[in-house]
Structure 1
Amino acid sequence: MDYSATISTTASPERAAQAITNYLEQWWSTRIERRTDGFTTRFNNSHATFHFEPGASPLSFEWKCTDAHMIIEDVEDAAEWVGTRLLWQITPTETGCKIQLTHEGLGPTLPCFEACQRGWQHFFETSLRDHLNSNTGAPNTT
């Protein structure tokens, strides 16, 4: 089973979509290199490059990892994320919205799963949620 989690926020669905796509520096990493068709995010000496997949809607979009060099202790294959996809789904609620992130291809059989799951718990489940609710995200700064 792939990593998947849902957060709730008082932010509007439109604000959530903007935060996810345009304000990565405020909740994921301050080291983002943007292109018109995607971006690269950097953490210390690690990086992951994502390509925006066609067919996105304002509240549902997909990013495919096309390059990765994730340095994780006890994980030999630094390119495990290549070919995985981030699937984002934003659903309006009466008080804001719910955001579901599924990292398709990031499952328990990958050696990096536990470390990557902890990363998503911090950056998605905590930092993005806190950024949307109070503008106090905790992105990686190194």
Structure 2
Amino acid sequence: MKDQSFVTTTLVKQSPEEVLAAIGNVRGWWSKNIEGSTDRVNSEFIYRDQYLTVKMKIVQFSPKKVVWDVVESYNTFFGASYEREWDGTQIIFDIINTDDMTQLTFTHAGLVPQFECFTVCSSSWDYFITTSLKSLIETGKGKDISKDEDSYMTSFVVDQTPKEVYDAVNNVRGWWSEEIEGKTNELHAVFFYHYKDVHLVKMEIVELIPEQKVVWFVKDNYFNFVKDITEWKGTKIVFKIAKVGDKTQLTFTHHGLVEEYECFDVCRDAWTSYIQGSLKNLITTGKGQPNAKEGGLSAELIAQWGLPEK
């Protein structure tokens, strides 16, 4: 039977020894919220974020291969039935020298499509390996989105049912922007949003639980007004829907959008307007205030993002 474990690969010009050193600097590419040594055989370390706590044991650490055993894990993002899915899995970094390049192949052995967390976890791993770890190897600086507890969040309560709220959230053109390409209400669908050439973003829908939760993963992002044009990339956008008495509460969190981001003030104000204004109005009155269609993309950006010409 074909192994369905998650695998992703990247190529860099640096040596296997430099790649090994970067892998061992886990705080530099995965998260600063780590306890313990991350670059010695037989050492154990613990990773923590708002939802996931995992204990790793390093069982191999060499210029050819790094292997972590998942000793214990708790992932509350998907509920109690699925919180131990990572238990017994293994994380493997294969380092191969090819001509003047080094190939890094990352495998989370045991993380398979049958897991409830597969889509979210595999999308996150792909970001951390092919974007953050690769950046650390090549530039000496990874992409830190680990301060999850400080992420932007806002919520409101309405008289409508959880189904009405859920349906409105998925009607993204009805509250965010009419300038959206792709389906916005199907699991694993990828849709594209842009505001002129100021902000472009590609979202994957990684979780849909009717009347309870919607989760988007930011696969790619472009800003034309901040130094790091990809600031949103690798972050998650979560809509949680809950019954509160005879009313419904919607809690919106952009996990990874933190005050350290250069775009934070602009993005916070924009999300507040869309969620507390447009989305809430769509739910309560049937009419939101999305951005109108306006075009405005250059031919270069259309080609770069693989979009159909209009």
* 4+ residue runs over 2 A deviation: 93-96
Structure 2 residue runs without a partner (length 5+):
1-149, 295-310
Counterpart pick for 1:91 among 220, 242, 266: 242
TM superposition shift of 1:63: 0.8
* 1:33 equivalent among 181, 187, 211: 181
Kept in 2, the 8 Å contact 1:7–1:125? The answer is yes
Per the normalisation by structure 2, the TM-score is 0.43
- Name the residue aligned to 1:66: 219
Match of 1:16 in 2: 165
The CA distance in 1 between the partners of 2:224 and 2:154, in whole Å, is: 24
The answer as to 2:155 corresponding to 1:2 is: no
Query: Which residue number corresponds to residue 251 of structure 2?
Result: 100
Query: How far 1:70 sits from its partner (Å)?
Result: 2.4
More displaced, 60-69 or 102-111? 60-69
Cα distance in 2 between the residues matched to 1:39 and 1:11:
27
Aligned residue-pair number: 138
How far did 1:136 drift?
2.8
- 1:44-65 Cα shifts (integer Å, max 9, x gaps): 11211111114x4221131100
Which one of the candidate residues 188, 191, 194 is aligned to 1:42?
194
Q: Give SS of 2:169's match.
A: helix
Matching residue of 1:125 = 276
Identity %: 23
Q: Structure 1 residues 87-96 or 105-114, which shifts more?
A: 87-96
> Separation in 2 of the partners of 1:31 and 1:11?
27
> Whose radius of gyration is greater, 1 or 2?
2
- Structure ranking higher on relative contact order (CA contacts 8 Å, 6+ apart): 1
Secondary structure at 1:102's aligned position in 2? Answer: strand
Give the 3-state SS of the residue equivalent to 2:288 in structure 1: coil
| Counterpart code for 1:94 | G
RMSD of aligned alpha carbons: 1.5
Deviation (angstroms), 1:135: 2.1
Q: Distance in 2 between matches of 1:106 and 1:14?
A: 27
Rounded Cα–Cα distance in structure 1 between residues aligned with 2:193 and 2:271:
14
Query: Does 2:204 correspond to 1:51?
Result: yes
